[in-house]
């Protein structure tokens, strides 16, 4: 493995942490929205879901 600067590793770790946090927030948001909104939408019409 080649020697790399600490700044590079810092940016890489920062990037992965940000992506991980965004993924967690997105999943949490979807779980919160699904029981009320998503089920009603599917019951009304399944064509809307495909768009």
Q: Is the pLDDT of residue 20 over 70?
A: yes
The confidence score (pLDDT) of residue 44 equals: 62
Please say whether the beta carbons of 42 and 49 come within 8 A.
yes
**Global confidence as pTM:** 0.47
23-33: average pLDDT: 83
Q: 27: pLDDT confidence band, cut at 50, 70 and 90? A: confident
The predicted structure's pLDDT at residue 15: 95
| Cα 20 to Cα 23: distance, rounded to the nearest angstrom | 5
Q: Give the C-alpha separation, 16 to 24, whole Å.
A: 12
Average pLDDT over residues 13-20: 95
Alpha helices in the chain (DSSP H): 6-33, 39-44, 47-50
């Amino acid at each position: 493995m080649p020697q790399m600067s600490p700044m590079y590793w810092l940016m890489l770790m920062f990037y992965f942490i940000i992506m991980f946090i965004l993924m967690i927030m997105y999943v949490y948001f979807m779980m919160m929205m699904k029981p009320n909104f998503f089920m009603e939408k599917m019951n009304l019409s399944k064509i809307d879901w495909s768009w």
